[in-house]
Amino acid sequence: MSVHDSALGQTTVYPTQYDATLLFPIARAEGRAALGATAPAFISTGVDVWHVFELSWLDEAGKPVVAIGRITVPAHSPNLIESKSLKLYFNGLNFAAFANNDALIQLVVNDLSKAAGAAVQFELLNVDELETHQPQGICIDHLEMTTSEVPREPDARLLKLNPTSANHDIEETLYSNLLRSNCPVTGQPDWGTIFIRYQSAKSQGAEICRNSLLTYIVSYRQHSGFHEQCVEQIFSDIWQIFKPEKLAIHAQYTRRGGLDINPCRSSDPLWLPKVLRLARQ
């Protein structure tokens, strides 16, 4: 069934009973196939980290319990899980009773792992546990774009290199708060902060042109794509054009429907970032 044939994007009656069939998996293969030969072999290295802020269930006495949930989906899983279906699934738990937290965790892990097609992690956080952090790296939002007209679709050819006389490896983390894309189902805008960490070999003698990178990020403004697919396209385009020694990209999207999504991809598992909540989230 196509995602457009589902209840997603339609007026929905929110469930009052647990129902694992509400989860709607979407194959990652289609989005990755669209990247063609530009997709690096290790595009599946990474995780998608979700935070569930509208999470509640009942204890054995029928008293409501609330928490924040953190979901970690491996990027090598064959499926991603559509966000509205995830919201509906957790709403269905609002009136379900559990003997203890472990029983809830085990149920959610089983259901999400089945939908994703791989082992998913789920943990409960206290409602006051998540602190906000300042983004780390060099913000490029103050720079001028390389074109006066905002491109309507992402184009890897927007990315340029700057020659440099540095006789050592260049490693830096650049970030922008200007990432915006659109949900391919509902058309609603998704807002995020994107981080690009790269290392170039001194033999290359070039670094990313920050102005062109900013222009490229802004080009997603009218693009339709799921969060995970946008990050993977950005990763593939930069990898193809720049050919760095190492590359790690993660986007921290603002909350919608009580969920924030943070896809992380890296050519080196040791470069996978720890997702630290930003004030915008």
Output the pLDDT for position 99: 95
Question: What count of residues does the chain have?
Answer: 281
Output the pLDDT for position 167: 62
The pTM of this model reads 0.91
DSSP notation for 138-198: EE-TTSPPSSSS--SS--GGG--EEE---SS-EEEEEEEEEEEEE-TTT--EEEEEEEEEE
Q: Which two tokens stand for residue 25?
A: 């998996």
36 Rama class: left (phi>0) / alpha (psi -120 to 50) / beta:
left
Q: 94 to each of 62, 100, 201, how far by Cα in Å? A: 11, 15, 52
Output the pLDDT for position 39: 87
pLDDT surpassing 80 at residue 261: yes
Output the pLDDT for position 233: 96
Q: Which domains does the chain have, with CATH numbers?
A: 3-125 (3.30.1130.10), 138-271 (3.30.1130.10)
Q: Which two tokens stand for residue 244?
A: 């760095």
Per-residue pLDDT reduced to its tens digit, 229-255: 999 999 999 999 998 999 999 999 999
Per-residue pLDDT reduced to its tens digit, 62-97: 999 999 999 999 999 999 999 999 999 999 999 999
Q: Which helix (H) or strand (E) holds 91?
A: helix 83-91
Task: Please provide the average confidence, as pLDDT, over all residues in the chain.
Answer: 92
Per-residue pLDDT reduced to its tens digit, 153-170: 899 999 998 876 566 678
Output the pLDDT for position 14: 84
Q: What are the catalytic residues?
A: 183, 190
Output the pLDDT for position 192: 97
Output the pLDDT for position 148: 84
Confidence of residue 150 (pLDDT cuts 50, 70, 90): confident
- Mean pLDDT for 102-118 is 98
* Contact yes or no for 214/229 (Cβ under 8 A): no
